[in-house]
Amino acid sequence: MTISLAGAIGAAVGLYVGWLDWKILKGMLQAAETKNRQAGGDGGVAARHKAPLGALIFGVPVFGFPIIGYWAASQLAG
């Protein structure tokens, strides 16, 4: 199996976009937890399921976007 240059570039771009998306989603999760705690709650769903949500928020963008980027770039390049 050969790796195309276009696919590698697409995967790199996908990794960068996935990293940005992970940072944004992680911040949104922390903001939801903080907002609930400031309102007098226990942190809500974000605090109760922090570990699985964190793994999901990390895994899907950081591993999924490079795969999609590689596939899309290699298809576009021919």
pLDDT (tens, 9 = 90+) of the chain, 78 residues, equals 788 899 999 999 999 999 999 999 999 999 988 998 898 888 788 888 889 999 999 999 999 999 999 999 999 987
Q: What's the confidence (pLDDT) of residue 8?
A: 94
What residues have CB less than 8 Å from 53, skipping those under 6 apart? 29, 46
- Cα dihedral 30/31/35/36 (nearest 10): -40
Question: What's the CA gap between 15 and 22, in Å, rounded?
Answer: 10
Distance CA 76, CA 59 (A): 25
CA distances from 29 to 42, 54, 56, 63 (A): 14, 8, 12, 19
